[in-house]
Structure formats: C-alpha cells, structure tokens
Chain A
Amino acid sequence: MQAPAAGFTPYRTSGTTGGPVTWWRGRDQLDAEAELLAGLFADARPDLVVTHAPPEHLFGHLMGVLVPRLLGVPATRLHLLDGLPADCARPLIAAVPATWWALGHAARALGRYERVEVVHSTAPLPERAAAVCAAHERLRLTELHGSTETGLVGVRRGGAGAWELARDVTPVGPWLPGTERRLSVSGPRLARTAPDAALPDAFVLDDLVVPAGPRSYRLVGRRARLVKVNGRRVNADGVLNRLRAAVPGCRLSWTPVSDPVRGEWYEILAEDPATVPRVAHAVSTLLPPAERPRRVRPALMGDAEPPSR
C-alpha cells in the first residue's frame, strides 16, 4: 500500500481493464461516507459492529472504524471461521458474500439476538442470503451499491425492489425510466486518482441499470469482464493473459460461475484438453490464492461467454 498523503487515504482495487489502481479519498469524503452509512442504522440501535470486510478496503474501513465511532459502539473484525459474538444483543454485521455462508451455519446463534442488522456490499447477494433472511424474522438486510471509486451510490432494503440513490449522488446523462444504461454519477464523495487531483466531474460504473423513478433504479447487470470473488474484483482477462504467456500456444477463455461461498467465481476453459494440466500448474504457481479460478477444464459446447467488453 502506498504511503498516505496528508489527509488522504488510499484504496487499491483491480482496474476494470488493466492492473490494480489506487484511489484516494479525503478525510472529509470519508466522514461524509461514514455519516451516510451511520444514518442508515441509527434507528436499529446496534450495540456492536461485526465485520468480515478487510479494513484496507473502503467498506471494511468504514464499517470497522468510522461508522462504529459515529454510532458510539465497539467494533470487531471477525474471521470467517469464528462463531458470532455472544456478548451483544443487536449486532450490525458488515457482510461479504461468504458471510452468508457463515450466517447460514449459525442459526442458533442468530436466534439468540434481539435484532440483527446485516449490511451487504461489494457484490451481488449470494443465493443463500434469501434463505437466511427468511429464516430469521428479526434480521434486517440493507444492501449498499457503490464502488471503491464512487463510494456509496444507492441503498436497498429487504433484498428486493429498486435501489434509492444516496442523497448527495446525482445521475449524469439521460435518466429515462425503463431504458437500460450504464450508471454514471457525480457527487462530492468520488475518489481521486491522486491526492492532488481534482474531484472528478462524474464516474461511470460498470453496472447496467434501468431507472425506476427520479432517484431510484434497478440493477440489471454488469458490463465489464470482471468477476467478484467473495466481493473482491478479479480481472479474469488479465489472468488469462498471464496464463497464455506462461503456457505458449494454449487457447483459453473463462466463464463466470455462481458459488455458494464466494457468491461469484470463475472457471478457465482450455480449447485443447491436453493443455489443461499445464494451465492448472501455471494457475497454482503464478496466481495468488485469492485470484485463482475454481478450476481449469476443457471448453465444452454451450459454455457461457462472459459479457463482452
């Protein structure tokens, strides 16, 4: 991680088309971000914030440090393999996709709480989330839509329906209900590419939306060829390029797959089955564990293509 410039905090993320990119947020931007989030949960009177999100990421920093400070409650970062804390009655749980697996395997612990707030960000809800929410009537779900680059863009409660734009976010460009478009927003919390850079006029997200009202929208897809493995962006095209360089002559593609733990994952498809062992070896030696595909396998007729660029 780069050394922070005075008053600015860096957050590193995979670029949508290339390598990692560092985005910078000023202290006032982080304070504004935290105030928006804290305002979403104040009425629930949480007595502990529990987070699975890593603190070096924006969501983890906000939910692990800044939001608890504003709410006046302690925070704890929990490892995925740990149980839920017993010394609280109304936890606010900052979830990554794998959190839903954990919640689905902690029914008795969840049942002991007076109230549970779960705030999910970083990726689409995994399939298991609906069952967990349905099984615990004292659990309330809040989803956050946004990115490292934009911060919070929209909020949705209850896991269904339209998203409401955050109060300081303005959609850029035509906003015609029923018309699919890429979501472009402006606002005071957009990140900078450098501490001394000007606040961007707007940022275009990878997400495809359909406006549902003056300040609401439905998410309908994602344009970029990215996959979010447990909420962490992986540039699968970049992975393919590294593997092609390591295994000359191999013809590779990738396909996204849903995963009960990570929410999303991906598989690498080799046109020539004979190259699968060499590609698999390159995967295990070249890629960090967090970027590895679920598996390398021969391509089959009917394999889904990832979204086009």
Chain B
Amino acid sequence: MSDTAATPSDAEIADRVRSAVRSVVGSELAPADDALELAPRFDAYDSLGVLDCVGAVEREFGIAVDLVDDDLRTTFVSVAAISALVRRKLDDQAVLGAAF
C-alpha cells in the first residue's frame, strides 16, 4: 500500500498554508512572499496569532504539531517554513500509514 499519490504537491501545500495563514492575519498572501517572515508584516501574527495559525494548519492538513519537538519559533516563521513542516509531517504520516 502506498499513500504517496494521496499526499498533496508542494504547490498545493503552500496554497493551503497561505489560506490558513490568511484566516489568521486577515490579508491576502502572495506566493512570491512565502519566504518572508510573517510577524514583522502582520500585527495579528503575534504569539497568540501563531497559536491560532498552528490550529488552522492542524485542521487543514489533519496533522499534530508538538510545541516542544517542532519549535514554533522556526517552523511557523513564514509560509515557506510552515509548508516545509507540513510536507515533513505528511510524509511521516504516509510512511507510518504504509507500515501498517
């Protein structure tokens, strides 16, 4: 059994991450800005806003983020960083799913 085909592409992940972040910051996000840090650009992306964003990303992708293991200060700093975390989590889920 392989779940590889079911996992979204990097572009789809980035799209969905942008949508999740937009629900928190209330502004449109351009793909060209994916690597930019979010906190300096959006007032709403303070520490509570980051926690909101974690919840939105968890719901969107069905993944679980761990405050200790996943180091929110680096993994939720930008759309690109969040997307990389999501990619890793989904890949891990696919491998675990394939193992059982």
Contact = CB atoms under 8 A, between A and B. Distances in A.
A261 B51 contact: yes
A83 B44 CA distance: 22
Given A79-B47, A289-B43, A109 B68 contact: yes
Interface stretch (B1-9, B12-20, B29-37, B69-77): B69-77
A257 interface: no
Contacts of B72: 81
B60 interface: no
Contact of B51 (A83, A101, A280): A101
Interface in B17-58: 26, 43-44, 46-48, 50-52, 54-55
Contact of B48 (A82, A98, A105, A107): A98
B65 interface: yes
A106 B51 contact: no
Interface string A51-89: 000000000000000000000000000011111100000
Contacts of A280: 26
- With a 10 A CB-CB cut-off, give which of A83, A84, A105 has the most chain B CB atoms: A105
A108 B66 contact: yes
Interface residues of B, number: 21
Contact of B69 (A80, A102, A108): A108
A260 interface: yes
Interface in A218-261: 230, 260-261
B67 interface: yes
B68 to A, nearest CB: 4
A202 B57 CA distance: 48
B46 A289 contact: yes
B47 A81 contact: yes
Q: Most chain-A CB neighbours within 10 Å: which of B46, B47, B50, B69?
A: B47
B68 A81 contact: no
Contacts of A79: 47
Contacts of B48: 80, 98, 230, 261-262
Contacts of B71: 83
Contacts of A17: none
Contacts of B67: 81-84, 102, 105-106, 109
Contacts of B54: 105
Nearest to A292: B44
Interface string A149-167: 0000000000000000000
B52 A261 contact: yes
Nearest to A260: B55
A260 B55 CA distance: 9
Contacts of A82: 67, 73
Contacts of A289: 43-44, 46
A82 B67 CA distance: 7
Given A108-B66, A262-B48, A284-B26, 19 more contacts: A81-B50, A81-B67, A84-B67, A84-B68, A98-B48, A102-B67, A105-B64, A105-B65, A105-B67, A106-B67, A106-B68, A108-B68, A108-B69, A109-B68, A261-B48, A261-B51, A280-B26, A284-B43, A295-B26
8 contacts: A79-B47, A81-B76, A82-B73, A101-B51, A109-B67, A262-B48, A284-B26, A289-B46
